[in-house]
Amino acid sequence: MPTKTLQIPTTDGQADAFAAFPNLRERHPGVLMYADGFGIRPVLRDMACELARHGYYVLVPNFFYRHGPAPLIELPEHIGEEVRPALMAQLMPLIEAHTAERVRRDADAYLTFLTTQPEVAAGPVAVTGYCIGGLLAMRTAAAHPGRVAALAAFHAPVGADGPDALAEITAQIHFGHAESDLTPEALGELNRALDAAKVDYTSEIYPGTVHGFTMSDTDAFDPTGLQHHWDRLLPLLDRTLANS
């Protein structure tokens, strides 16, 4: 599995990034993958490689690059609940500083970089993300409707920007929610907003999951939830990027 460490030019500097893709002899549909708040680390590289095995060029940017290259903070091999509060205390100022305007500005740089890589096929791309990365993916799709054909977000605060933001999206959508993050009532409200936006979507609570269920290096990890995520993500990409 070929991989690269890259530098993405942005209006505010250089964003370090990780990329994985099937081989060097063909061009592949592009996927922009946003990490959770803990950033690029072995589990994210593994997930990017797994997705790349299905025929995609996967680019994972360090969206906190303004504060330094990944990893920004020292992370244990396993992020248990006993260390999570202290780690989040270090990360929250970075998350709060990463404004919607910054996200949109960076998204343009990431998408331009992704679509000009020699291994990436012409045509639209997909964006996917986890936790805060899911919100970044949503903002990217909203800001670039002509460039993004698919949007997937998992255990993410996708409703944070309100229904007007959803109305800007033209991509096909899948939202996979943790059971601990969203009540059935809140899911109904979100889905009514998606209906009103007239987008093609699926949005569901993954049974028995808690926030962060896709991340195998955390206590929240749920193998069934992770597999459910692949079972939703891969068909979405196949439907939307098959002609790229």
pLDDT in tens, 192-232: 999 999 999 999 999 999 999 999 999 999 999 999 999 99
What are the backbone dihedrals phi and psi of residue 6, each rounded to the nearest 5 degrees, phi first?
-130, 165
Model confidence, pTM:
0.96
Confidence band for 25, pLDDT divided at 50, 70 and 90: confident
Average pLDDT over residues 152-179: 94
DSSP string, the chain: --EEEEEEEETTEEEEEEEE-S-SSS-B-EEEEE--TT-SSHHHHHHHHHHHTTT-EEEEE-TTGGG-SSPSS---SSB-TTTHHHHHHHHHHHHHHS-HHHHHHHHHHHHHHHHTSTTBPSS-EEEEEETHHHHHHHHHHHH-TTTEEEEEEES--TTTT-HHHHTT--SEEEEEEETTT--HHHHHHHHHHHHHHT--EEEEEETT--TTTT-TTBTT--HHHHHHHHHHHHHHHHHHHTT-
pLDDT band of 242, cuts 50, 70, 90: confident
Q: What is the pLDDT of residue 42?
A: 97
For residue 244, the model assigns a pLDDT of: 65
Q: Any idea where the domains of the chain sit in the sequence?
A: 3-241
Task: Give the mean pLDDT of 63-70.
Answer: 96
Q: Which CATH superfamily is domain 3-241 in?
A: Alpha/Beta hydrolase fold, catalytic domain (3.40.50.1820)
